[in-house]
Amino acid sequence: MKQHLSKYPWSWVPSLYFAEGLPNAIVTLVAVLMYKRFGMSNTEIAFYTSWLYLPWVIKAIWSPFVDILRTKRWWVITMQLLIGAALGGVAFTIPGSYWIQGSLFCFWIMAFSSATHDIAADGFYMLGLDDHQQSFFSGIRSTFYRLATMFGQGVLVMIAGNLEVVTRNIRYSWSLTFYLAAGIMIALGLIHGCVLPRPKEDKAAIINGAERPTAKNIMNNFAETFISFFRKDGIIVALLFIFFYRAPEGMLTKIVPLFLNDSMHEGGLGLSPQDIGLVSGTVGLIGLTLGGILGGLYASKYGLKKALWPMVCAITLPDLVYIYLAYFQPASLFPINICVFFEQFGYGVGFTAYMLYLIYFCQGEHKTAHYAICTGFMAASLMLPGMVAGWLQELMGYRLFFILVMLLCTLTFAVSAIIKIDPGFGKKHSQRES
């Protein structure tokens, strides 16, 4: 029993996952919109910010060292403080002459620190709570991760937009906003230094009976696990599914915020940062969350195999709303909110099938490590399309770009047609062992 470890998990679980979600939201969307406000081209924004996904793609490479160097508690607190410092670095550099180089460097530090924090936080969660508590708080940690995303993509963006109106200085406004984010992350790091428990199990990993495994032992163990992943039955089909199921979303993720912000003359909707914070960072995330909940309930009732095709339709067909928005460019926020909510709701439903398939494919020996490898490929499935999305959009314009996205949906249908799934997997009353 770990009663002494986690007597008050409410004092740290919600804030821990808020701290995990906030930097990810800042890197994936806030940075995109900030650079757009600074006048960078869509090609540059999509290319540079897509590279920021790389730490999440390759985090499995250094994850073993989080086990052998210091405790997970130390990593959590240190990474939160480092993320706070990186946010302060962004705030400090963007008013200067070398704002592109300086801010991207700080974002890189933040991205690597955030990926490392994810490794440590998820491991600490399992050490600091017993099995019952882990189950009880699974939904709570997901909720606070979403709240952090909503705060980053919604509240912070709206704050920056309001400051632009007050100060009439775009860079100074965003600098103040990033100083605020830096203060929040540093405060979370200091608070967690006081409230996080100290599990006795939070120590160096034991591999092959060695209390203090060497880096060589760790890397040999990782190599064996990595090789075994590529020897799994159906690995080629699985990788095709992982890379192409979300190909349309990989394009949309980088372009939609730019589309919302660009003027109508340039083919966009001409929304202010305040409006984007509401549409994308609030209404869209509510739709995404509700879709994820409904998708989970649907899959648990019918199983992944039966639920797959409705979920494939849910993640692809709602993308049509962007063709409508690009052609008709409504001036009212109401139809825009409806469209974004509908598309994000569908994505939430369809993404459930994606995550369940990863769990299904990783069953068996080394399932935890194999799942970590899959999440790296999952991040790459967004990173690679995002790198060329800006160039394609500027080449084709928003209307033809969104038509291209719909054509890419055929890849989602194609890879979904070739995967094999046990009919009993995912059903609530399935007798299959998980």
**pLDDT at residue number 223:** 79
Q: Is residue 289 part of a domain?
A: yes
Structural domain boundaries enclosing 176: 1-198
Residue 212 to residue 219: CA distance in whole angstroms? 14
> Does residue 138 share a domain with residue 19?
yes
Mean pLDDT of the chain: 87
Do 156 and 28 contact (CB within 8 A), yes or no?
Answer: no
CA distance 363 to 357: 10
pLDDT at 285 over 60: yes
**Tens digits of residue pLDDT in 222-234:** 777 788 888 888 8
Query: 171 pLDDT exceeds 60?
Result: yes
216 with 139, same domain: the answer is: no
Query: Distance between CA 228 and CA 391 in Å, rounded?
Result: 38
Examine the fold and report which residue of 198, 230, 254 is the final residue of a domain before the chain moves on. 198
Give the separation between CA 278 and CA 351, rounded to whole angstroms: 23
CA–CA–CA angle 74, 77, 83 (5° rounding): 130
Number of folded domains in the chain? 2
Do 220 and 309 fall into the same domain? yes
Task: List, for residues 52-103, the tens digit of each pLDDT value.
Answer: 989 988 887 877 777 677 888 999 999 999 999 999 999 999 998 899 999 9
pLDDT given at position 36: 93
DSSP 8-state assignment for residue 210: B
Instruction: From 169, 198, 227, give the residue that closes a domain.
Output: 198
The reply to whether 429 falls in a domain is no
144 pLDDT more than 50 = yes
Q: What is the DSSP string of 65-96?
A: HHHHSS-HHHHHHHHHHHHHHHHHHHHHHTTS
The pLDDT, as a whole number, for residue 2 is 43
Strands, DSSP E only, in 150-261? none
Structural domain contains residue 146: yes
Instruction: Tell whether 71 and 176 lie within a shared domain.
Output: yes
> Residue 40 belongs to a domain with what CATH number?
1.20.1250.20
Q: Is the pLDDT of residue 1 over 50?
A: no
Last residue of a domain, one of 158, 173, 198: 198
Q: What's the whole-model pTM score?
A: 0.81
Can you give the pLDDT at residue 10? 85
